[in-house]
Amino acid sequence: MAASDLRRVTGYQDFVDEAPLDLVYVADYTRMNRVPVGQRESYASVAAGAISQNVYLFAASNGLATVIRAWIDRAAIADALGLTHDQQVLLSQTVGYPKKST
Ligand SMILES: Cc1cc2nc3c(=O)[nH]c(=O)nc-3n(C[C@H](O)[C@H](O)[C@H](O)COP(=O)(O)O)c2cc1C
């Protein structure tokens, strides 16, 4: 959890700056000792996909909008969050309110 507003760092798309919440999924490979090295990234990616799908389900059932995002500046996010080389930014997910139809 970062104690500052880093939304501008988390993506290239305009809506990211304005949406109330942006989640960043980070794989912490120091906590995956029991997973073979060659499988760690795929395990972490599957987990991030499952978590993000739960966020989609929550959003859908609560009238919120969400977008999972892979088009992100991983180096800038890692720098802003002070991540180590064992912590890899996988995906980001914006959560907000649906656009009001005019
Ligand atoms: C792994 C993955 C990465 C994605 N990355 C982006 C992204 O960086 N930016 C984006 O606008 N949509 C991205 N999408 C697509 C959105 O999550 C979403 O499915 C798409 O915007 C359509 O949403 P809608 O049906 O609510 O309009 C990605 C989808 C997946 C599965």
**CA-nearest residue, atom 13 of ligand 1:** 69
pLDDT at 101: 75
Q: Is 59 in the pocket of ligand 1 (CB under 6 A)?
A: no
Could you tell me the distance, in angstroms and rounded to a whole number, from the CA of residue 98 to the centre of ligand 1? 15
Matching residue, tokens 């912490």: 28
71 CB less than 6 Å from ligand 1?
Answer: yes
Whole-number Å distance, alpha carbon 33 to ligand 1 midpoint, is 31
Residue 8, pLDDT above cutoff 80? no
Whether domain 7-96 has CATH 3.30.465.10: no
Banded pLDDT at 67 (limits 50, 70, 90): very high
pLDDT value at residue 1: 66
Q: What pLDDT was estimated at residue 24?
A: 95
Q: What is the pLDDT of residues 70-93, one digit of tens each?
A: 999 999 999 999 999 999 999 999
Confidence of residue 54 (pLDDT cuts 50, 70, 90): very high
Give the C-alpha separation, 51 to 54, whole Å: 5
Residue 17, Cβ neighbours under 10 Å: how many? Answer: 14
